[in-house]
Amino acid sequence: MKISRIELNNFKRFTHLVVEGIPETAKLVVLVGPNGSGKTSFLESMNQYYKQTGYGNCGDFNYILKPLEASEEESVNWWTNYSSQLVKISFYSDQYNQFGDIKVRGRFYFRSAYRNEPDFQINNMQRQVDPTATIRLQTLIQNDQTVSNNYQRLVANTIAGVFEESNNAKTVKNLREELTGRIRVAMNEVFEDLEFTSIGDPLKNGNFYFTKGTTKNFKYLNLSAGEKAAFDLILDLVVQSQYYPDAIYCIDEPELHMHTKLQGKVLRELYTLIPGSSQMWISTHSIGMLEEAEEIEKEKPGTVVFLDFGNRNFDEDQVIHPAKIGKATLDKFYELAFGDFAKLILPKTIVFCEGDHLGTDRKDFDKSIFETIFGETHPDTYFISGGACSDIENLEKTHSAILDAVFRNTEIIRIVDRDDLSNKEVEDLAKRRIKALKKRNLESYLLDDSVIKKLCESQGKTDKYNECLTNKINAINNSEAQGNPRDDLKKARGEIYTGLKRILGLNKCGNKADSFIRDTLAPLITPDMAVYKQLESEIFDGLGDS
């Protein structure tokens, strides 16, 4: 069972959100973003869809509805009708797109982030009903304890196996291994010194028992918080997969209570344990989880995708597509790393470019351009706005101690505009390992003839190319007449932008020349273009040379 598209309307913090383009091959979907970015709310929308479609439960509008006028909220009938429009999910298989009532039951399984069952003791067995018969979690802020229930399900399944005629040829040991062996194997993959050994005697000392180091009969109570968290997730997936063999599994922050290395191991086991053609959705800001997800994708291309919820205004319409594996992961690493030096993971290369991260009109302009052009082909490079040309030139004077101590294993590149630098000045900068673009400024690359041609092609107006070039030449001539250097396209950019917008009838291309260059032209530059290769060479060639 695989999801292809999800659309939300006025759900919690989302005014109108569309998540689309999820490939059918995706087995693991990772929601990334800082705290408060909407990851849990998004998973909650999937729970709402499940409750409403499968059980006719429209939920509490005070919790799930983005606030509307009070007069609209007062009517129960209005809410019953309106709630069905909040979440729409499309699937790759038509049989799932015809969901309704009982058909959806057993097709979604949820774990909230509040998974904490410190201890349990089973003194008597209780009948375990089919978990798909009822809604397990009304909301994802609900306390989610499953260990004790899963213990009883394991015992119940063992007893059922004894009375199953198809098992007549099996030994008791075989039956026991079928039910608990998967848990033992998974735990052995995750922990080096912790082995799951037995479930004790359900009628006397019902509990989970482990061997830890040389200590045997180590009870669940005595496990660390991280060990319990890992065991809980593994146990739950093994047990529940019998009831949800073809489903969407949603886990909010599976990394809780675990250290970085353990997080990655647990994710890999969860990925392995997902049954059949099921799909797992997780929300995380864990470095360990993200690293492991990237490794899984490298090993099994097309099975892992990332949805980036960071830096979005959900009061406006938003569309999220799966991000490239390397870029999404590494961007998240850097966000976490620079925000928390205790988790510092540094990129292989850092490029200090001109620009002010505290500016307004041209805030992080060069940085944004470089990230757009090289984000996918150089995912291990991080661009930083380093100030004016003079600021970048003086980085070693002002921050050399920090750069040497923190970035000792990172290649540092400093790049400045050519402007009016003489050949001698360029040579002197090179001796200090500072690079200068060969053209006067970054606009000279973005407004290259080949980029303008690509713009015309993207608009289906190749017949307007010569007119666009004439517009560019006229703008340069007018700028030169005002005393500006002929190659200073930064000075001519405004008139070039206005002309291109008029000639090609452009809409929503940027209100100003800078936003037009950043948002419309930069994405047109691809690795097969000469202007790309030139800019790439000027920045990255000679990397690692002493």
Domain check: are 310 and 353 in the same one? no
Domain check: are 456 and 367 in the same one? yes
Asked whether the predicted pLDDT for residue 399 surpasses 50, the reply is yes
Neighbours of 7 (CB within 10 A): 19
**The pLDDT value given to residue 178:** 72
Query: What Å distances lie between residue 319 and 20, 22, 492, CA to CA?
Result: 8, 12, 34
**The pLDDT value given to residue 268:** 95
Q: pLDDT band for position 98 (50/70/90)?
A: low
Higher pLDDT, 336 or 362: 362
Asked whether the predicted pLDDT for residue 128 surpasses 50, the reply is yes
Nearest partner of 388 among 346, 358, 410, 368, judged by Cα: 358
Query: What Å distances lie between residue 186 and 70, 258, 504, CA to CA?
Result: 51, 16, 59
Domain check: are 315 and 353 in the same one? no
Range of the domain at 370: 346-540
Q: Which helix (H) or strand (E) holds 434?
A: strand 434-436
Burial (CB count within 10 angstroms: exposed 0-12, middle 13-18, buried 19+), residue 537? exposed
Does residue 339 lie in a domain region? no
**The pLDDT value given to residue 344:** 47
Say how many domains are in the chain.
2
Q: pLDDT band for position 358 (50/70/90)?
A: low
For residue range 163-179, what is the model confidence (pLDDT) as tens digits? 677 767 777 677 777 77
For residue range 412-459, what is the model confidence (pLDDT) as tens digits? 888 999 999 999 999 998 888 889 999 999 999 999 999 999 999 999
Length of the chain: 546
Task: Tell me the chain's radius of gyration from C-alpha atoms.
Answer: 29
Cα(187)–Cα(182) distance, integer angstroms = 9
Q: Give Dmax (Cα) for the chain.
A: 96
Domain check: are 368 and 295 in the same one? no
Does residue 404 lie in a domain region? yes
Q: Do 233 and 270 form a contact (C-beta atoms < 8 A)?
A: yes
Asked whether the predicted pLDDT for residue 398 surpasses 60, the reply is no
Q: pLDDT band for position 342 (50/70/90)?
A: very low
**The pLDDT value given to residue 407:** 57
Q: Do 486 and 333 form a contact (C-beta atoms < 8 A)?
A: no
Q: Which helix (H) or strand (E) holds 415?
A: strand 411-416
Q: Which helix (H) or strand (E) holds 389?
A: helix 389-393
Q: Could you write out the three-class secondary structure of 300-359? A: CCCCEEEEECCCCCCCCEEEECCECHHHHHHHHHHHHHHHCHHHCCCCCEEEEECECCCC
Please report, rounded to a whole number, the percentage of residues in the chain having pLDDT higher than 90. 54
Question: How large is the average pLDDT for residues 254-265?
Answer: 89
For residue range 12-65, what is the model confidence (pLDDT) as tens digits? 989 999 999 999 999 999 998 888 889 999 999 999 999 998 888 888 878 888
The whole-chain average pLDDT of the chain stands at: 85
Does residue 331 lie in a domain region? no
Q: What are phi and psi of 231, to 5 degrees?
A: -60, -40
Asked whether the predicted pLDDT for residue 482 surpasses 70, the reply is yes
**The pLDDT value given to residue 343:** 39
Tokens 């009982």 belong to 102
Burial (CB count within 10 angstroms: exposed 0-12, middle 13-18, buried 19+), residue 358? exposed
Does residue 377 lie in a domain region? yes
Domain check: are 303 and 427 in the same one? no
Edge to edge, the sheet with strand 381-385 lists: 381-385, 349-353, 411-416, 434-436
Asked whether the predicted pLDDT for residue 191 surpasses 50, the reply is yes
> Nearest 5 degrees, angle CA 427-CA 430-CA 370?
120
Tokens 């489903």 belong to 247
Last residue of a domain, one of 282, 302, 320: 320
Cα(459)–Cα(55) distance, integer angstroms = 48
233 residue type, one letter: L
Cα(409)–Cα(344) distance, integer angstroms = 12
For residue range 277-335, what is the model confidence (pLDDT) as tens digits? 999 999 988 878 888 998 999 999 999 999 988 878 998 999 999 987 666 555 555 55
- CATH number of the domain that residue 230 is part of: 3.40.50.300
Domain check: are 310 and 360 in the same one? no
Nearest partner of 128 among 98, 99, 151, 144, judged by Cα: 151
Asked whether the predicted pLDDT for residue 67 surpasses 80, the reply is no
Question: How large is the average pLDDT for residues 102-125?
Answer: 85
Higher pLDDT, 124 or 342: 124
Asked whether the predicted pLDDT for residue 341 surpasses 50, the reply is no
Domain check: are 316 and 359 in the same one? no
**The pLDDT value given to residue 111:** 95
Does residue 328 lie in a domain region? no
Domain check: are 185 and 238 in the same one? yes
Domain check: are 288 and 139 in the same one? yes
Domain check: are 354 and 435 in the same one? yes
Does residue 334 lie in a domain region? no
For residue range 209-230, what is the model confidence (pLDDT) as tens digits? 999 988 998 999 999 999 999 9
Cα(163)–Cα(212) distance, integer angstroms = 34
Does residue 48 lie in a domain region? yes
65 residue type, one letter: L
State the helix-helix crossing angle for 147-162 and 225-240, rounded to 10 degrees: 40
State the helix-helix crossing angle for 147-162 and 172-190, rounded to 10 degrees: 150
Domain check: are 490 and 355 in the same one? yes
For residue range 452-470, what is the model confidence (pLDDT) as tens digits? 999 999 999 999 999 999 9
Pairing of strands 279-284, 248-252: parallel
**The pLDDT value given to residue 70:** 41
**The pLDDT value given to residue 400:** 53
Does residue 431 lie in a domain region? yes
Domain check: are 302 and 434 in the same one? no
